[in-house]
Structure 1
Amino acid sequence: MFFDYHLHSHFSADSDMTMDELCQAAIRKGLNEIAITDHHDIDYQDDTIEFLIDKDKYLQEIKKMQKKYENKLTIKKGIEMGLQSHILKESQLYLKDDFDFVIGSFHTVEKSDLYNGDFFEGYSQWESYIKYLKTVSKVVRKYDNYNVLGHLDIIRRYGDFENKPKLLENKEAASIIESILKTIIQKDKGLEVNTSGYRLDGENPLPSFDILKLYYELGGQILTIGSDSHKTKDIAQKFDYTIQKLKEIGFEELTTFNKMKAIPHKI
């Protein structure tokens, strides 16, 4: 019983994997259910790439895959929505009631891109980390049309810094993270466990296990697991190991979604 709830097809500008290739690989790897979650980032701050999806074409292609693999794989209509504080109304209008599952992610902060490094200019490492977390905190207090926060500590992946410390090592960062977690718990939102994090330090998903432990201690229960795959080889990466670690923390369930409603599954 495995579910990969973070997968990117060629509808994401940074993936060449077709939906058909994605589905076939998921079946080969023994997955029962997937959510295809391509990137939609309104007002993305890098002119060299565009993360905008033609929703009608996208949903039609997912529907085609659902029909083709209906007896082999459950396929949910998902999306990874790039959230920014100034485009929340536009995000709400785009999503409407058309999806089973929405990841709320932050790839751009203060109208500056994380990936290309623009966001970090003029800030120290911890100054940039704190600014990122304050933005996440501000948005989750105001906005509700998502199911889980994507790769909460993704900020550690970026920036030209020699070390990539865990965010809970800093007192101010830890306080903001605790506030974010309390907010999403109160609003019945969850966290994704993103196994692409192992490609950063070899030891942790995103968010790191210490943040996941804090989420559990605060009463958080809604967790999805996703590989953030842009290539077939990364689908379901280290799921067995990750689920065992989640059990050791105390988690007893993973969550899937149907029409934005959470469905818990014992692990």
Structure 2
Amino acid sequence: MFFDYHLHSHFSTDSQMNMKELIESAVEMGLDEIAITDHHDIDYKDDTIEFLIDKAQYLSELEKMQNKYKDKIKIKKGIELGVQLHIFEQCNQYIADDFDFVIASFHTAEKKDLYNRDFFAGYSQWEAYIRYLKTVYAVVKAYENYNVIGHLDIIRDYGDYGSKADLMENQEAAEIIAEILKVIIQKNKGIEVNTAGYRIDGRDPMPSFKILRLYKDLGGKILTIGSDSHSPDKIARKFSYTSKKLQEIGFKELATFNNMQPEFHKIEDFAL
């Protein structure tokens, strides 16, 4: 099995790749399965851009693609859901029973945007990192309508700081991460390994290998792998290297999802 579980089509405002181009690129690369996971961020805190998807149109297009390519590749109905503490009910209404796979991601914290740097105003680097992690912890304790947490340490990719420190380098941050992971594991949720993370420092996906090692040590088992690709050339980027590193840590399986339920595949059978 060879799969990519974080891909963006033109339904995401920041992607120009239409579904046909995305799927045919995945087929050409030899993928057996993909999850298209376009952005839906309710009450996104940047007025210059909107990440909202008309669900009926989105699902209709996904179903057309599933039928058109059913003999070539398995396509799962996914969504990358921007989660905030004050929008749980709206998130639940949007998800309903319509998706195979939901990534819960954090593009905002404290009702402020990460990408445009609003969130960082007035905070030192570690103050910002720790406040972000506290937001994630509050959400995972209270919210359950998702499968995996997306790019857990994405905060490292933002902020105008001189370094991109691994969050595990700070004791308070590391302790909060451990609590986040314990809740995820207890609730039978997972985390994604997002290979777009290598753009930060060239060494780690998101989350970092140190966080992934802690997840393994705490008993975590549900892992998906995704490229977070917004263009054909990034699909399945560095999957071979990443899967080998995951095996070194001790992980034996990667997950795909069907009707929000995990299905496990041996990493050693992850054809690359």
User: If the TM-score is normalised by the length of the shorter chain, which range does it land in?
Assistant: over 0.9
Q: Give matches, 1:1-267, under 5 Å.
A: 1-267=1-267
Cα displacement (A) at 1:200: 1.0
Q: Which amino acid aligns with 2:52?
A: L
Cα displacement (A) at 1:2: 1.3
Secondary structure in structure 1 of the residue aligned to 2:34: strand
Secondary structure in structure 2 of the residue aligned to 1:204: coil
Cα displacement (A) at 1:175: 0.4
Secondary structure in structure 2 of the residue aligned to 1:89: helix
User: Separation in 2 of the partners of 1:102 and 1:211?
Assistant: 21
User: Separation in 1 of the partners of 2:89 and 2:131?
Assistant: 22
| Cα-to-partner distance string for 1:165-197 (whole Å, 9 max, x where unaligned) | 000100100000000000000000000000000
Aligned length: 267
Secondary structure in structure 2 of the residue aligned to 1:16: coil
Q: Which amino acid aligns with 1:131?
A: R
Secondary structure in structure 2 of the residue aligned to 1:45: coil
Among the aligned pairs, what percent are the same residue? 68
User: Separation in 2 of the partners of 1:266 and 1:196?
Assistant: 22
| Cα-to-partner distance string for 1:20-42 (whole Å, 9 max, x where unaligned) | 00000101111110000000000
User: Separation in 1 of the partners of 2:155 and 2:161?
Assistant: 11
Secondary structure in structure 1 of the residue aligned to 2:22: helix
TM-score with structure 1 length normalisation?
1.00
User: Separation in 1 of the partners of 2:173 and 2:88?
Assistant: 24
Q: Which amino acid aligns with 2:200?
A: L
Cα displacement (A) at 1:199: 1.0
Secondary structure in structure 2 of the residue aligned to 1:59: helix
Give the unaligned 5+ runs of structure 2.
268-272
| Cα-to-partner distance string for 1:128-179 (whole Å, 9 max, x where unaligned) | 0000000000000000000000000000000000101000100100000000
Secondary structure in structure 2 of the residue aligned to 1:244: helix
The alignment yields a C-alpha RMSD, in angstroms, of: 0.4
| Cα-to-partner distance string for 1:59-98 (whole Å, 9 max, x where unaligned) | 0000011011101100000000000001111101110110
User: Separation in 1 of the partners of 2:36 and 2:57?
Assistant: 14
Cα displacement (A) at 1:57: 0.2
User: Separation in 1 of the partners of 2:198 and 2:139?
Assistant: 27
User: Separation in 2 of the partners of 1:154 and 1:61?
Assistant: 29
Cα displacement (A) at 1:105: 0.2
User: Separation in 2 of the partners of 1:98 and 1:75?
Assistant: 14
TM-score with structure 2 length normalisation?
0.98
